[in-house]
Structure 1
Amino acid sequence: MGKIIVLTGAGGILCGTIAKALAREGHKIAVLDLRKEAAETVVEEIKKDGGIAIGISANVLDKDSLEEAKKLVNKILGPCDILINGAGGNHPLGTTSNTHLLEEDLLNGTNDFRTFFDLDSDGIKFVFDLNFMGTLLPTQVFAKDMIGKKGCSILNISSMNAFTPLTKIPAYSGAKAAVSNFTQWLAVHFSKIGIRVNALAPGFFLTDQNRGLLTMEDGSLTERGNKIIEQTPMARFGEPDDLIGTTLWLCGEGASFVTGVVVPIDGGFKAFSGV
Structure 2
Amino acid sequence: MIPIHENLKGKVAVITGGSGVLCSQMAIELARQGANIAILNRDAKKGRDVIERIQTSGGTGISVKADVLDKSSMEKAREEILETFGQVDFLINGAGGNHPDAVTNTETYQDEATGKSFFHLDENGFSKVFATNFTGSFISSQVFGKDLLQAKAPSILNISSMSAYVPMTKVPAYSAAKSSINNFTMWMAVHFAETGLRVNAIAPGFFLTTQNRNLLVNDDGSYTVRSNKIINGTPMKRFGKPEDLLGTMLWLLDASYSGFVTGITVPVDGGFMAYSGV
Q: TM-score, normalised on structure 1? A: 0.96
Is residue 243 from structure 1 mapped to residue 245 from structure 2 by the alignment?
yes
Is residue 17 from structure 1 mapped to residue 19 from structure 2 by the alignment?
no
Is the 1:148–1:193 contact (alpha carbons within 8 Å) kept by the matching residues of 2? Answer: no
Rounded Cα–Cα distance in structure 2 between residues aligned with 1:203 and 1:163: 11
- Where structure 1 has 5 or more consecutive residues not aligned to the other structure, the ranges are none
Distance 1:213 1:219, change over 3 A: same
Residue 79 of structure 1: how far off its partner (Å): 1.3
Is the 1:80–1:143 contact (alpha carbons within 8 Å) kept by the matching residues of 2? Answer: no
Residue 217 of structure 1: how far off its partner (Å): 2.3
Alignment of 1:1-275 (within 5 A): 1-105=9-113, 108=114, 113-253=115-255, 254-275=257-278
Rounded Cα–Cα distance in structure 2 between residues aligned with 1:220 and 1:42: 28
The one-letter code of the counterpart of 2:118 is F
Is the 2:87–2:151 contact (alpha carbons within 8 Å) kept by the matching residues of 1? Answer: no
Is the 1:160–1:202 contact (alpha carbons within 8 Å) kept by the matching residues of 2? Answer: yes
Partner of 2:3: none
Residue 211 of structure 1: how far off its partner (Å): 1.1
The one-letter code of the counterpart of 1:228 is I
The one-letter code of the counterpart of 2:170 is K
Residue 216 of structure 1: how far off its partner (Å): 1.5
Residue 32 of structure 1: how far off its partner (Å): 0.9
Rounded Cα–Cα distance in structure 2 between residues aligned with 1:212 and 1:131: 19
Residue 147 of structure 1: how far off its partner (Å): 1.5
Three-state SS of the structure 1 residue aligned to 2:39 is strand
1:10-51 residue CA offsets vs partner (Å, 9 max, x unmatched): 011110000000000000110111111100000000000000
Residue 104 of structure 1: how far off its partner (Å): 2.0
Partner of 2:4: none
- Greater displacement, 253-262 / 216-225: 216-225
Q: How big is the alpha-carbon RMSD for the aligned residues of Structure 1 and Structure 2?
A: 0.9
How many aligned residue pairs are there?
269
1:41-94 residue CA offsets vs partner (Å, 9 max, x unmatched): 000000000001001111000000000000000001111110000000111111
Residue 117 of structure 1: how far off its partner (Å): 1.0
Residue 198 of structure 1: how far off its partner (Å): 0.2
Rounded Cα–Cα distance in structure 2 between residues aligned with 1:149 and 1:142: 11
Is the 2:88–2:151 contact (alpha carbons within 8 Å) kept by the matching residues of 1? Answer: no
Rounded Cα–Cα distance in structure 2 between residues aligned with 1:11 and 1:252: 22
Rounded Cα–Cα distance in structure 2 between residues aligned with 1:125 and 1:146: 29
- Greater displacement, 217-226 / 169-178: 217-226
Three-state SS of the structure 1 residue aligned to 2:188 is helix
Rounded Cα–Cα distance in structure 1 between residues aligned with 2:18 and 2:191: 26
Rounded Cα–Cα distance in structure 1 between residues aligned with 2:157 and 2:166: 21
The one-letter code of the counterpart of 1:268 is G
Three-state SS of the structure 2 residue aligned to 1:190 is helix
Rounded Cα–Cα distance in structure 2 between residues aligned with 1:216 and 1:119: 24
The one-letter code of the counterpart of 2:239 is F
Is the 1:158–1:176 contact (alpha carbons within 8 Å) kept by the matching residues of 2? Answer: yes
The one-letter code of the counterpart of 1:211 is R
- Where structure 2 has 5 or more consecutive residues not aligned to the other structure, the ranges are 1-8
The one-letter code of the counterpart of 1:164 is V
Three-state SS of the structure 2 residue aligned to 1:29 is strand
Is the 1:43–1:54 contact (alpha carbons within 8 Å) kept by the matching residues of 2? Answer: yes
Rounded Cα–Cα distance in structure 1 between residues aligned with 2:86 and 2:182: 29
Q: TM-score, normalised on structure 2? A: 0.95
